[in-house]
C-alpha cells in the first residue's frame, strides 16, 4: 500500500476523481478503490470483501425486520458467525503468513496471501449488524452506503475501526474543504514519515538485537532491543492509523483517533484504552458488554475479559506469539485488578514507570515466535549472559540514539504538546510552518521510498 | 490566514505529486515498461519497478536519504556499511552457508583429474576491515570461515592463504571503497602469495608501469549508499614494462564468442561497471588467454569475480590460461567436463572470494 505508486499516482488520481465526482458516485469510487487495492494485494481478498459486504447488508435488513422476534437473535448470531468465520479464515500474520490453521498445526488453506482489509471488514460488518439489532440505528437500505462503510479502504491497513452511525452522515454528504484536506495531508505525511523513518528504523534496531545469540546478549543491548520493539509496535500501528485519518480527511470524512499516547498509561487497563482505542472499544461494546449482559459475577467478568482479549489479540494476527502475549497480558490485568488499592496509592510517575517496566518484561512474548526464546531473552534482560554492556551496546546506542530520542519525544507526547500548543496555536507561524512542514515531510518520505531501503519492511504491521 | 495556509499546503502538495508523476510517465526514459515487464514477469511488479526506476532525480533522492541517515548516526544501508570513508558489504548472520557443500564439489572435481589443484579463498573488505564493523554481525570471522573450508579440502588440493597478505596491507589501497572487489594492488598481494605455492617466480612491481584507467569510479555499493563524503575509486592497471605476453584472448558464452588482444577492455570504462575493464567481468562462461611464452604450463582457473583482476599477473607465467565461471556454466546448463578437458592443464586454481563461495549454489556444475 505504501510506495511511490501509491503516493504519486493513486493518491492524486483518486483525490481528483473523488473531488469531481457527483455525490452518488463518490461511494462507488471508494468501494471500487478498495476493491482495486485488495485485488492489487491478492484477488482472493475479493471473496472476503464480498462475504462481509453481502452478509452485513443482507443480515442488517433481515435483523431490522425481525429484531423484535426470536429470529432476530438467531440472525444476529448467524451474521457474527459468518463474519467471524471469514475473519478466522482470511486473517493472518504479515510476519510469516501463518493463520489460524497453521497455529493449530494444520496446513493453511490459503497460501502466500497477504490479504488487505481482513482485519477490518468483518469487524465493521459485525458492528453494523449488532447495532441494528440493538436498535442503535435503523439499517440502511442503500446497499452502496453499507458497502462503503464495511469496505472503507483508508482503514484497511490497521484501522481505526469505524462506527456506522458516526460516519454515516459524512459518507452521505462528504464535505471536502481546504481545512480538512490540509489536515488530511498533514496526517498522511506524518503517518508516512512515522512508518518509513521511525517504525522501519526501530524494526531494524530490533532485528540487529534479535540476531545476536541470547547467550552472549548483554543486558543493556537486550533492553535497547525490547525498547525498540515497543516503539516499532506503536509507531507501525499509529503510522497506519494516521495515514487512514489523513486519507479519510481528504475525502471529507473524520475518523476517530486511535492512539492516545499509550506509553504514558498508568496501568494495563489504561493502556488498553489508549492503545488502538477503536479495537478496544469494539471489543468492549460487542463482546465484553454482550457477555456481561447475560450474567453477573466473577466468572462472567473473567470470561468477558478473556474472550475480549483473545479477539483483540487475534486482530493483531494469528500466531502463537499473539496467543502467549495475550495470556501474559491477561495475567497482568488480573494482577492489576487484585492489587488495585495499593497501586492507586502510588504517585502517577511511579505507576507509569512500573507499567512500562512490566510491559517491557512481557513484550518478548510478542516479539519471538517461540515462548522459550522469549523466556531466554527476558533472562538476558536481567543479566542472563553475565554481561551488562559491551561494544555491541555502544554501537547500538551510538547508531540509534537520535531515533530513540525522537521516539521518546513523540510517544511521551512532548513533541505533540510543542506543535499543538506552541507552533500551531500561533496563526501567523502556522501559516508559514504548515506548508513547509508538509513539503519537507513529502521530500524526505520520497527520498526514503526512492532509495528503496525500506522495501523489505513494508507490510509488517501484523504479528 | 489559516485558510490561506491550508490552500497553499494542498496546492503545493498536489502540484509536487502531479509534477513528478507526469515527469515519471512522460519525460524519463531510464527503462521502458516492456523491459521491466520482461524482467519482472508480471504487470504488478513491472509497474512498481517502472515507477521506481524512472522516478525523476533518482540519484539526488538516494543521496539525500543516505546523507540524512549518516547525519543521524546510521551507518548501515541494507547489507552495506559505511565506515571510515568506505562502503563494506556484509552478509550478516543469516546468509545461507554452502561452504562445506561447495568444498565437497571441489573435492569431487579433484578426484577426476591428475593435474595439480590449488584453492584460493580471498577475504572481502568485510573480513579485512572487520574491526571497523560492529561485532555482532557475524558469529565467526572470515578468516575462520576460510580456514574451516581449507580444513575440509582433499589432501591433493593445496590451499593458498590470501587473507594474511591482504590483512597486512590493509592500510594500502587493496579494496575499492565503493565496490565489493579487490583492487589491482590487492590482487597483486594475493598473486605474490600464490606464486610460492604455484612454483612461479614472482614478477615484482618494478616490472610494471602503473596506469590510472579511471579515477572517477563509483561502484555498485555506492548505488545502495550514496554517502556524500565518500571519495571516488580509481582503477589501476599494471602494464608490463616489456612487451605484453598476451597474444590472444577468446571468450565464449553459448554461441557468442569474442576475440581480443589484451586482458584489459577499455570499452568497459564507458559503462557504469568500470571494473569490467578486467576481462569484461563475469559475462562469459569460458575465457581462453593465449600468451607467447613457449613451453610454459597451462592454468585453468575456476573463477569468481575476484579472479579477473589477478589474471593479468599470471599471464607472465603460463602459455595458456583458461577461466571458467561455474555460475555461468550452471546458468547455461553445462558442466565443467563438457566445457574443458581438465587433463589438458598442468595446474587448476579455484579462486573465489569467501562470500561468493559460501553463498554459491552452482558448484554442482564442476562435477
Helix (H, G, I), strand (E, B) or coil at A363: coil
Of the listed ranges A65-69, A73-77, A112-116, B22-26, the least confidently predicted one is A112-116
- pLDDT-derived band of residue A93, with 50, 70 and 90 as boundaries? low
Report pLDDT for A440: 92
Q: At residue A462, does pLDDT exceed 70?
A: no
Q: At residue B47, does pLDDT exceed 60?
A: yes
Average pLDDT score over chain B: 86
B75 vs B120 pLDDT, higher one: B120
Q: At residue B136, does pLDDT exceed 80?
A: no
Determine whether the interchain pair A439/B94 forms a contact, defined as Cβ–Cβ distance below 8 Å. no
Distance CA B91, CA B133 (A): 12
- The 10s digit of each residue's pLDDT in A9-37 is 888 999 999 988 888 888 888 889 888 88
In Å, how far is A441's CA from the nearest CA of chain B?
10
Distance CA A13, CA A10 (A): 5
Q: At residue A94, does pLDDT exceed 80?
A: no
A426 contacts in B (CB within 8 Å)? none
Q: Which of A8, A211, A430 sits opposite B5 (nearest CB)?
A: A430
Q: At residue A99, does pLDDT exceed 70?
A: no
Distance CA A282, CA A85 (A): 18
Determine whether the interchain pair A8/B21 forms a contact, defined as Cβ–Cβ distance below 8 Å. yes
Residue whose entry in the numeric block shows the C-alpha cell 607472465: B316
- The 10s digit of each residue's pLDDT in B237-257 is 888 888 788 888 888 887 788
Determine whether the interchain pair B61/A447 forms a contact, defined as Cβ–Cβ distance below 8 Å. yes
Grid cell listed for A40: 492489487
In Å, how far is A218's CA from the nearest CA of chain B?
11
B15 at interface of A, judged by CB pairs closer than 8 A? no
Distance CA A420, CA B89 (A): 43
Q: Which of A11, A427, A438 sits opposite B2 (nearest CB)?
A: A427
- pLDDT-derived band of residue A185, with 50, 70 and 90 as boundaries? very high
Average pLDDT over every residue of A139-148: 86
Report pLDDT for A463: 42
In Å, how far is B23's CA from the nearest CA of chain A?
11
B3 at interface of A, judged by CB pairs closer than 8 A? yes
Determine whether the interchain pair B65/A453 forms a contact, defined as Cβ–Cβ distance below 8 Å. yes
Q: Which of B18, B47, B68 sits opposite A5 (nearest CB)?
A: B47
For residues A42, A47, A49, A52, the Cα torsion angle rounded to the nearest 10 degrees is -150
Candidate ranges A198-202, A283-287, B133-137, B349-353; pick with highest mean pLDDT: B349-353
Q: At residue B175, does pLDDT exceed 90?
A: yes
Task: Report CA-CA distances (Å) from B29 to B25, B32, B283.
Answer: 9, 7, 25
ipTM: 0.82
Average pLDDT score over chain A: 82
What Rg value do the Cα atoms of chain B yield, rounded?
23
In Å, how far is A150's CA from the nearest CA of chain B?
26
A299-324: b or e for each residue (b if 16 or more CB lie within 10 Å)?
A: eeeebbbbebbbbbbbbbbbbbbbeb
Distance CA A65, CA A72 (A): 8
Determine whether the interchain pair B1/A395 forms a contact, defined as Cβ–Cβ distance below 8 Å. no
Domain definitions of chain A by residue range: 22-174, 180-457
In Å, how far from its chain's centre is CA B175? 11
B94 at interface of A, judged by CB pairs closer than 8 A? yes
Determine whether the interchain pair A185/B9 forms a contact, defined as Cβ–Cβ distance below 8 Å. yes
B48 contacts in A (CB within 8 Å)? 3, 5
Average pLDDT over every residue of A213-220: 83
Distance CA A106, CA A172 (A): 44
Determine whether the interchain pair B92/A427 forms a contact, defined as Cβ–Cβ distance below 8 Å. no
- The 10s digit of each residue's pLDDT in A426-441 is 777 777 788 888 899 9
Q: At residue A107, does pLDDT exceed 70?
A: no
Grid cell listed for B112: 577426476
Of the listed ranges A381-395, A429-443, B86-100, the least confidently predicted one is A381-395
A103 vs B184 pLDDT, higher one: B184
pTM of the model: 0.83
B45 contacts in A (CB within 8 Å)? none
Task: Report CA-CA distances (Å) from B109 to A6, A116, A364, B311.
Answer: 52, 51, 48, 22
Task: Report CA-CA distances (Å) from A99 to A363, A368, B266.
Answer: 21, 16, 56
Q: At residue A336, does pLDDT exceed 50?
A: yes
Residue partners of B215: CB distance under 8 A and separation at least 6:
B232, B234, B235
Average pLDDT over every residue of B76-101: 83
Amino acid at each position: 500500500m505504501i510506495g511511490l505508486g501509491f503516493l504519486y499516482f493513486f493518491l492524486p488520481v483518486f483525490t481528483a476523481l473523488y473531488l469531481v465526482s457527483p455525490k452518488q458516485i463518490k461511494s462507488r469510487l471508494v468501494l471500487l478503490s478498495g476493491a482495486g487495492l485488495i485485488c492489487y494485494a491478492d484477488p482472493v481478498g475479493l471473496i472476503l470483501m464480498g462475504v462481509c459486504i453481502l452478509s452485513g447488508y443482507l443480515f442488517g435488513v433481515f435483523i431490522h425486520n425481525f429484531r423484535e422476534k426470536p429470529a432476530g437473535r438467531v440472525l444476529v448470531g448467524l451474521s457474527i458467525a459468518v463474519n467471524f468465520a471469514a475473519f478466522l479464515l482470511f486473517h493472518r500474520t504479515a510476519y510469516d503468513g501463518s493463520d489460524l490453521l497453521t497455529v493449530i498445526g494444520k496446513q493453511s488453506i490459503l497460501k502466500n496471501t497477504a490479504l488487505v482489509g481482513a482485519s477490518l471488514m468483518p469487524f465493521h460488518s459485525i458492528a453494523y449488524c449488532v447495532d441494528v439489532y440493538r436498535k442503535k440505528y435503523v439499517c440502511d437500505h442503500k446497499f452502496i452506503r453499507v458497502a462503503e462503510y464495511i469496505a472503507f479502504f483508508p482503514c484497511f491497513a490497521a484501522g481505526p475501526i469505524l462506527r456506522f452511525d458516526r460516519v454515516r452522515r459524512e459518507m452521505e454528504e462528504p464535505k471536502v474543504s481546504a481545512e480538512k484536506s490540509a489536515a488530511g495531508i498533514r496526517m498522511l505525511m506524518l503517518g508516512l514519515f512515522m512508518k518509513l523513518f521511525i517504525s522501519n528504523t526501530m524494526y531494524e534496531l530490533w532485528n540487529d538485537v534479535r540476531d545476536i545469540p541470547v547467550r552472549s546478549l548483554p543486558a543493556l543491548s537486550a533492553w535497547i532491543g525490547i525498547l525498540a520493539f515497543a516503539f516499532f509496535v506503536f509507531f507501525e500501528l499509529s503510522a497506519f492509523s494516521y495515514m487512514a485519518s489523513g486519507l479519510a480527511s481528504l475525502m471529507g470524512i473524520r475518523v476517530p483517533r486511535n492512539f492516545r499516547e499509550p506509553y504514558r498509561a498508568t496501568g494495563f487497563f489504561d493502556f488498553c484504552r489508549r492503545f488502538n482505542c477503536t479495537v478496544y472499544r469494539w471489543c468492549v461494546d460487542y463482546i465484553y458488554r454482550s457477555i456481561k449482559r447475560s450474567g453477573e459475577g466473577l466468572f462472567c467478568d473473567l470470561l468477558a475479559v478473556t474472550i475480549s482479549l483473545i479477539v483483540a489479540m487475534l486482530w493483531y494476527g494469528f500466531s502463537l506469539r499473539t496467543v502467549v502475549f495475550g495470556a501474559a497480558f491477561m495475567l497482568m490485568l488480573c494482577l492489576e485488578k487484585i492489587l488495585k488499592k495499593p497501586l492507586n496509592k502510588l504517585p502517577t510517575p511511579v505507576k507509569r514507570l512500573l507499567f512500562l517496566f512490566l510491559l517491557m518484561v512481557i513484550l518478548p512474548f510478542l516479539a519471538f515466535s517461540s515462548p522459550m526464546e522469549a523466556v531466554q531473552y527476558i533472562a538476558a534482560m536481567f543479566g542472563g549472559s553475565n554481561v551488562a554492556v559491551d561494544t555491541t551496546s555502544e554501537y547500538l546506542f551510538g547508531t540509534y540514539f537520535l531515533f530513540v530520542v525522537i521516539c521518546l519525544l513523540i510517544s511521551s507526547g512532548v513533541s505533540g504538546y510543542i506543535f499543538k500548543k506552541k507552533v500551531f496555536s500561533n496563526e501567523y507561524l502556522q501559516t508559514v510552518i504548515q506548508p513547509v512542514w508538509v513539503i519537507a515531510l513529502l521530500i524526505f518520505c520520497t527520498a526514503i521510498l526512492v532509495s528503496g531501503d525500506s522495501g523489505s519492511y513494508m507490510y509488517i504491521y501484523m504479528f | 490566514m489559516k485558510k490561506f495556509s491550508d490552500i497553499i499546503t494542498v496546492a503545493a502538495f498536489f502540484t509536487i505529486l502531479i509534477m513528478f508523476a507526469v515527469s515519471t510517465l512522460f519525460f524519463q526514459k531510464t527503462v521502458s515498461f516492456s523491459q521491466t515487464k520482461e524482467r519482472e514477469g508480471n504487470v504488478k511488479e513491472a509497474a512498481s519497478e517502472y515507477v521506481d526506476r524512472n522516478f525523476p532525480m533518482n540519484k539526488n533522492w538516494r543521496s539525500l536519504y543516505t546523507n540524512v541517515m549518516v547525519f543521524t548516526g546510521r551507518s548501515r544501508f541494507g547489507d552495506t556499511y559505511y565506515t571510515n570513508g568506505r562502503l563494506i558489504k556484509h552478509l550478516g548472520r543469516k546468509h545461507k552457508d554452502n561452504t562445506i557443500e561447495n568444498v565437497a564439489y571441489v573435492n569431487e572435481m579433484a578426484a577426476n583429474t591428475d593435474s595439480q589443484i590449488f584453492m584460493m579463498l580471498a577475504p572481502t573488505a568485510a573480513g579485512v576491515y572487520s574491526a571497523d564493523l560492529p561485532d555482532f554481525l557475524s558469529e565467526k570471522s572470515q578468516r575462520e570461515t576460510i580456514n574451516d573450508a581449507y580444513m575440509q579440502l582433499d589432501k591433493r588440493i593445496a590451499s593458498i592463504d590470501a587473507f594474511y597478505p591482504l590483512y597486512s596491507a590493509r592500510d594500502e589501497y587493496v579494496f575499492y571503497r565503493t565496490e565489493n572487489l579487490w583492487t589491482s594492488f590487492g590482487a597483486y598481494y594475493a598473486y605474490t602469495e600464490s606464486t610460492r605455492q604455484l612454483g612461479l617466480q614472482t614478477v615484482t612491481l618494478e616490472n610494471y608501469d602503473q596506469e590510472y584507467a579511471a579515477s572517477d569510479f563509483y561502484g555498485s555499493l555506492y548505488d545502495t549508499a550514496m554517502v556524500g563524503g565518500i571519495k571516488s575509486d580509481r582503477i589501476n592497471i599494471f602494464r608490463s614494462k616489456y612487451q605484453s605476453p598476451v597474444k590472444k584472448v577468446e571468450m565464449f558464452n553459448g554461441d557468442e564468442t569474442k576475440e581480443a588482444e589484451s586482458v584489459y577492455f577499455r570499452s568497459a570504462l564507458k559503462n557504469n561497471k568500470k571494473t569490467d575493464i578486467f576481462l569484461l567481468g563475469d559475462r562469459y562462461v569460458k575465457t581462453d588467454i593465449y600468451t607467447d611464452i613457449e613451453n610454459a604450463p597451462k592454468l585453468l582457473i575456476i573463477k569468481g569475480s575476484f579472479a579477473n583482476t589477478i589474471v593479468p599477473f599470471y599471464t607472465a607465467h603460463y602459455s595458456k590460461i583458461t577461466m571458467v565461471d561455474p555460475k555461468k556454466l550452471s546458468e547455461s546448463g553445462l558442466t565443467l567436463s563438457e566445457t574443458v578437458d581438465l587433463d589438458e592443464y598442468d595446474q587448476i586454481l579455484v579462486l573465489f572470494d569467501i562470500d561468493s563461495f559460501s553463498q554459491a549454489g552452482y558448484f554442482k556444475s564442476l562435477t
